[in-house]
Amino acid sequence: MTAVFESLSAWRDERRAQIRAGLTLGFVPTMGALHEGHLSLVRRSRAENDRTLVSIFVNPTQFDDPTDLTQYPRTLENDLAMLRDEGTEFVLVPDETQLYRDGFRYRVTEVELSKVMEGARRPGHFDGVLTVVLKLLQIASAERAYFGEKDWQQLSLVGGMAEAFFLPTAIVGCATVREPDGLALSSRNRRLPPSDRQKAPQFYRALSISPTSEVASRELREAGFAVDYVEDRDGRRLGAVRLGDVRLIDNVPIGERP
Ligand code: AMP
């Protein structure tokens, strides 16, 4: 049985009862349009906790581009069916008026890592991410929260925020799930036309096998990608590219062979 909560206060009552009963909770925040990448987080949470909560909320404050927000896929009925099949106990589907009663007057800002790579190309993006994640972590009251390595910069920033503010929830990073051809699963992949879908796995390959980030960047440009950045940082190679109006991000440990 999967219980769906739209009301934050109803969920918080439920969670209080669980805590009284000594039940541990794993939390998986998502923006919906679920795929196997999200489900891998749900499975890990189910293996490590008594109960699992998944949230589905397309967070407007993290979209710097209004078109990206309107085009973001919304597949709620399908998402709920997938979560039921996984045996997810709880799903939280809050709305903006409940989550942002303050009108986004209060926000979390990190001043270094959030300003480079994704942050440099998407001004304000990580303020929106960190703010909504802090709200959701407070509401969930989970022992553990699961985030994908696919969004490596986000995972680092969320982990850093949890430490900086002494949050009681452990932040757990989970390996990137890929298509057999190497393309990282993403809700945005479904917007790729067939010819771009065919080209897309070259992104992962270039990140993995190029000797330097500059070479990866050049090869991707030659292959017809618009390259936002490819950067090596802390033993990983991270990149963002565009095919048409679809933006893809990915990262690999430096030296990983596809
Ligand atoms: P999103 O719905 O895109 O905000 O993603 C929700 C969570 O799923 C984030 O922690 C993502 O990093 C994670 N995620 C998205 N795609 C993948 C993937 N291909 N493999 C592993 N985790 C992923």
Q: Which of 114, 116, 151, 159 is nearest to 134 (CA)?
A: 159
Per-residue pLDDT tens for 11-55?
999 999 999 999 999 999 999 999 999 999 999 999 999 999 999
Work out the percent of the chain whose per-residue pLDDT is above 90: 96
Structure tokens belonging to residue 22: 């000594």
**Helices 213-222, 201-209: crossing angle, 10 deg rounding:** 150
**Number of the ligand 1 atom closest to the C-alpha atom of 154:** 12
Angle at 23 between CA 46 and CA 58, to 5 degrees: 55
Structure confidence at residue 177 (pLDDT): 98
Full DSSP string of 217-242:
HHHHHHTTPEEEEEEEETTEEEEEEE
Angle at 31 between CA 232 and CA 39, to 5 degrees: 80
Per-residue pLDDT tens for 103-158?
999 999 999 999 999 999 999 999 999 999 999 999 999 999 999 999 999 999 99
Mutate to test the pocket of ligand 1, among 27, 28, 30 (most ligand atoms within 8 A of CB): 30
Structure tokens belonging to residue 88: 């997810």
Structure confidence at residue 250 (pLDDT): 98
User: CA-based Rg of the chain, rounded to a whole angstrom?
Assistant: 18
**Number of the ligand 1 atom closest to the C-alpha atom of 184:** 19
**Number of the ligand 1 atom closest to the C-alpha atom of 29:** 6
Contacts of 83 (CB under 8 A, 6+ apart): 2, 34, 42, 54, 91
Whether the pLDDT of residue 256 is over 80: the answer is no
Bridge partners of residue 227, in order along the sequence: 241
Mean pLDDT of the region 242-248: 96
**72-98 exposure pattern, b = at least 16 Cβ within 10 A, e = fewer:** beebeeebbebbeebebbbbbbbeeee
* Ligand 1 pocket at CB < 6 A: 30-31, 37-38, 40-41, 147-148, 150-151, 174, 176-177, 184-187
Separation of 243 CA from ligand 1 center, angstroms?
Answer: 20
Structure confidence at residue 258 (pLDDT): 72
Separation of 20 CA from ligand 1 center, angstroms?
Answer: 31
Q: Return mean pLDDT, the chain.
A: 97
- In three-state secondary structure terms, 91 is strand
Distance CA 151, CA 104 (A): 23
Structure confidence at residue 246 (pLDDT): 94
Residue whose CA lies nearest to ligand 1 atom number 5 = 30
pTM above 0.95, yes or no: yes
Mutate to test the pocket of ligand 1, among 28, 34, 35, 38 (most ligand atoms within 8 A of CB): 38
- In three-state secondary structure terms, 51 is strand
Per-residue pLDDT tens for 140-154?
999 999 999 999 999
Structure confidence at residue 253 (pLDDT): 97
